[in-house]
Structure 1
Amino acid sequence: MLSFFRSYFPYQYISLLALLLLVRLPLLLHPMPLLIPELNWLLVGEQMGHGHLLYRDIWDSVSPLSGLVYWGLNTLFGRSLLALHGAATLVSVFQIVYFNYLTNNRDVYSDRTFWPGLVYALFLHLSFDCLTLSPVLMSTSFLLLAFGTLAKQMERRGATDEVFEVGFYIGIAALFYLPSALFIIWAALSLVLYTGATFRQHSLSLFGFLFPIAVMVLFYYLNDGLDDFNRNLLSSVFRVRQYSLSDFQSLVAALLIPLGLGVLGFLSLFNTTSRYVNFQQRIQQIMMIWFGVAVLTIVLMPFLAPMVFLSFVPPMAYFSVYYFENVRKAWLAEAGFSIAFGLMMLLFYQGALGLIPRLELGRLSNLQVKASPLPAGIKNQRILIIGEDLSAYYQNYPATPYLNWDLAKYDLKNLDNYEAVINVFDNFRKDPPAYIVDHENVVGKLFQRAPALAARYEKTTTAGVYKRK
């Protein structure tokens, strides 16, 4: 496969995209497990489509531009998992084509080939959950655009006012996925160390970063939602930790080959430094900084799954290409890539389709939507789920703003506070749920604090489920 994509002809883009579709099409046409984060994003888009304002009327930590995309998809396709996967494929096509074009057009490597796009396409398939339109995937597109502008600055003797674009793209990336805001550190270090940018140009970059964020803050201020914006988004990056959704074995297995190839590619540079011009060496160094900043984002991730590590793909793909370039025997490089491709595809399809019975590796079982705890006849009802498991929403609709449990704790786990009780009572009054699914055993205390609510609900025969009278 490496030998086929070594030639640099425009028609190879068609081959690259054909390979992407060949890998993804069986899963796009086959029913796939619905993941809890996917259901959460679909619900956010659906609620926004009903006129609810994110953060003020929907307590969730998804970043605002991601929420806007999910609202748009819901408007066009409804609650469609296929729409998420189809849109993700389009975003993936952009990233693959742009990464391959950028590395070749800027002569980032010694030779022009389609290997960068090929390796990038492979690494976008860490696991089957990477098929979905996650905030990290959308955010990474703008980080790549920032990298493209930064690479243009590397080619020149000094930085230009285009550094505004670098900050602006990172600001947009942060509005898709808030931890991406840390990449302003990557941009600042790259400009300081490798471009000789002036104080004015650093200020331009910072202004570009803050501008889209300031516009979003102003929007929420004008819509009486600034406090909610701060609590449910800005502060949530330190509070929302759904680590019970994590599958560490699958995560390690998914990252093992890309990280291994990336490390081998990085180490191969120590024996071949003289082959590369100063510009290429600077690109190597800013990609090292990218990887370091990406590591810092781990502590801000709401849960751990392969999909949230997609911001690692550009540096891993970048250094992996060096590994295949620097292997002296072509057949060894071909064999190495074939083995990596085969193992990653095996894990990818195992996770989605369960090819090997009773093997949970790659299945991400903790992330999958499980059977609803509600009786089978309860459908198309407005309900409230108290807890992380959103499964009951699959055939129903959320009531009250309390969509994200980590944020709902602000009220529902603080019932000794009079203001919190008043907030809960008001939210129930505005949007009363027909059923309450209590996974966290808080309803008893809530009914003690608000007897008027207790009078409206009764227990059902299903444990933890309450029905409005």
Structure 2
Amino acid sequence: MLRFFRSYYPYQYASLLGLLLLIRLPLLLHPFPMLIPELNWMLVGEQMSEGHLLYRDIWDSISPLSAVVYWGLHTLFGRSTLVLHIAATVVSVFQIVYFNYLTNNRDVYPDRSFWPGLIYMLFLHLSFDCLTLSPVLMSTSFLLLAFGTLIKQMERRGATDEVFEVGFYIGIAALFYLPSALFIIWATLSLLFYTGTSFRQHSLSLFGFLFPIAATVLFYYLNNSLDDFNRNLLASVFRVRQYSLSDFQSLVASLLIPLGLGVLGFLSLFRSSSRYVNFQQRVQQIMMIWFVTAVLTIALGPFLAPMSFLSFVPPMAYFTLYYFENFRKGWLAELGFSIAFGLILLLFYQGLLGLIPGSDLGRLSSLQVQSSPLPDNIRDRHILIIGEDLSAYRLNRPATPYLNWDLAKYDLKNLDNYEAVINVFDHFRKDPPDYIIDRENVVDKLFQRAPALAGWYEKTATAGVYKRK
């Protein structure tokens, strides 16, 4: 396979994209388990399509531009995981083609080939959850655009005002996935160490980063929702931790080969550094800074899953190529890549198809939406879930802004505060749920603090479920 993609002809793009579809098409046609993050994203898009404003009327920590994408997809197609997977494939195609084009057009490597795109495409399949349109995937597209503009500046004797674009792309990436804002550190260090950037140009890059964020802040200010924006997005990055992944074995297995190959590729540079010109060595260094920055973003992510590591794919793919390029015998490189290719795809298919009998490796069961705990007759109703388990929303619609339990605690776990009780009562009055599913035992206290609400609801035969009279 390496030998086939070694040649650099335009028709190889068709071969590369054909291989991508060959890998994904069987899974896109296979019944796919809905993931809890996917359900959460679709609920946000659904609520926004009904006229609710994110952060004010929908308490969730999703970044605004990602929410806008889910809003648009829901408006056009409704709730559909297949649409998320198809859209993710389109974004993946862009990243693969752009990464391959950029590395070859800018002579990032000594030789031109389709290896960058091939390795990038392979590493996009860390796990089956990487098939969906996640905020990390969308954010990484703009980080790649920032990388492209950055290395364009490195080719010149001095930086130009195009450094504004670097900051702007990172600002957009942060509005898709807030932890990506840390990449402004990556851009600043890269411009400082590897380009002739002046103080004015550094300021221009920072302004480019702040511009889209400031425009978003202004939008919420004009809608009298700045406090909601700050609490549910900016402050939540340090507090919200959803969908805890207990299957660390699957997480480690999905990252082991790509990270291992990336590290081996990085170490191989010490044996052959004389082969590379100054520009290529500087690119190697800024890719190392990218990797370190990506590690920092993990601590700020709202949940832990293989899809959270998609921002690692560019540096892992970048350094892995050096590992196979520095093999002295071509057949050994071909054998090594074939083994890595087979093992990565084995785990990828195992997660969805269960190819290994009796093994749950890669299944990510804790991220999958389970069957609804509600009786079968409760469907297509407005409900409120008090707790982390969102599975009952799969066949129903959310009521009140309290979608994210970590954020809902501001009110529902603070019922000794008069203002919190007033907030809850107002939200119930504006958007009363038909059913309340209480998994945190707060309803009794809520009814004590707001007796008017107690008169609206009655207990059902199902424990923790209250029905509107």
Structure 1 stretches of 4+ with a deviation exceeding 4 A read none
8 Å Cα contact 1:246/1:304 also seen in 2: no
Counterpart of 2:84 in structure 1 is: 84
Counterpart of 2:325 in structure 1 is: 325
Question: How far apart are residue 416 of structure 1 and its match?
Answer: 1.1
Give the letter for the 2:169 counterpart: Y
Counterpart of 1:59 in structure 2 is: 59
8 Å Cα contact 2:243/2:366 also seen in 1: no
Cα RMSD for the two superposed structures: 0.8
**Aligned positions of 1:108-119 closer than 5 A:** 108-119=108-119
1:360 aligns with 2:371: no
**Aligned positions of 1:137-216 closer than 5 A:** 137-216=137-216
Tell me whether 355-364 or 335-344 shows the greater mean CA deviation. 355-364
Give the letter for the 1:238 counterpart: F
8 Å Cα contact 1:264/1:323 also seen in 2: yes
**Aligned positions of 1:145-294 closer than 5 A:** 145-242=145-242, 244-294=244-294
Counterpart of 1:384 in structure 2 is: 384
| Unpaired runs of at least 5, structure 1 | none
Give the letter for the 1:277 counterpart: V
1:340 aligns with 2:358: no
| Unpaired runs of at least 5, structure 2 | none
State the alpha-carbon separation in 1 of the partners of residues 268 and 289 from structure 2. 18
8 Å Cα contact 1:246/1:305 also seen in 2: no
Secondary structure at the counterpart of residue 235 of structure 1: helix
Counterpart of 1:20 in structure 2 is: 20
Secondary structure at the counterpart of residue 133 of structure 1: coil
Question: How far apart are residue 462 of structure 1 and its match?
Answer: 1.3
Secondary structure at the counterpart of residue 207 of structure 2: helix
State the alpha-carbon separation in 2 of the partners of residues 251 and 37 from structure 1. 16
Tell me whether 266-275 or 446-455 shows the greater mean CA deviation. 446-455
1:422 aligns with 2:422: yes
Identity among equivalent positions (%) equals: 84
Counterpart of 2:48 in structure 1 is: 48
Give the count of matched residue pairs.
469
Counterpart of 1:402 in structure 2 is: 402
Once the two structures are superposed, residues 246-294 of structure 1 have per-residue CA deviations (whole angstroms, 9 ceiling, x without a partner) of 5311111110000000000000000000000000000000000000000
State the alpha-carbon separation in 1 of the partners of residues 246 and 123 from structure 2. 20
State the alpha-carbon separation in 1 of the partners of residues 191 and 281 from structure 2. 15
Secondary structure at the counterpart of residue 384 of structure 1: strand
Once the two structures are superposed, residues 68-97 of structure 1 have per-residue CA deviations (whole angstroms, 9 ceiling, x without a partner) of 000000011001111100000000000000
1:295 aligns with 2:295: yes
State the alpha-carbon separation in 1 of the partners of residues 465 and 330 from structure 2. 63
Secondary structure at the counterpart of residue 244 of structure 2: helix
8 Å Cα contact 1:246/1:303 also seen in 2: no
Give the letter for the 1:59 counterpart: W
State the alpha-carbon separation in 2 of the partners of residues 38 and 365 from structure 1. 14
State the alpha-carbon separation in 2 of the partners of residues 80 and 114 from structure 1. 34
Once the two structures are superposed, residues 162-202 of structure 1 have per-residue CA deviations (whole angstroms, 9 ceiling, x without a partner) of 00000000000000000000000000000000002000000
**TM-score, normalising length: structure 2:** 0.99
Counterpart of 2:432 in structure 1 is: 432
**TM-score, normalising length: structure 1:** 0.99
Once the two structures are superposed, residues 326-369 of structure 1 have per-residue CA deviations (whole angstroms, 9 ceiling, x without a partner) of 01111111111111111111111111122223311101100000
Give the letter for the 1:414 counterpart: N
Counterpart of 1:447 in structure 2 is: 447
State the alpha-carbon separation in 2 of the partners of residues 119 and 400 from structure 1. 45
Question: How far apart are residue 39 of structure 1 and its match?
Answer: 0.3
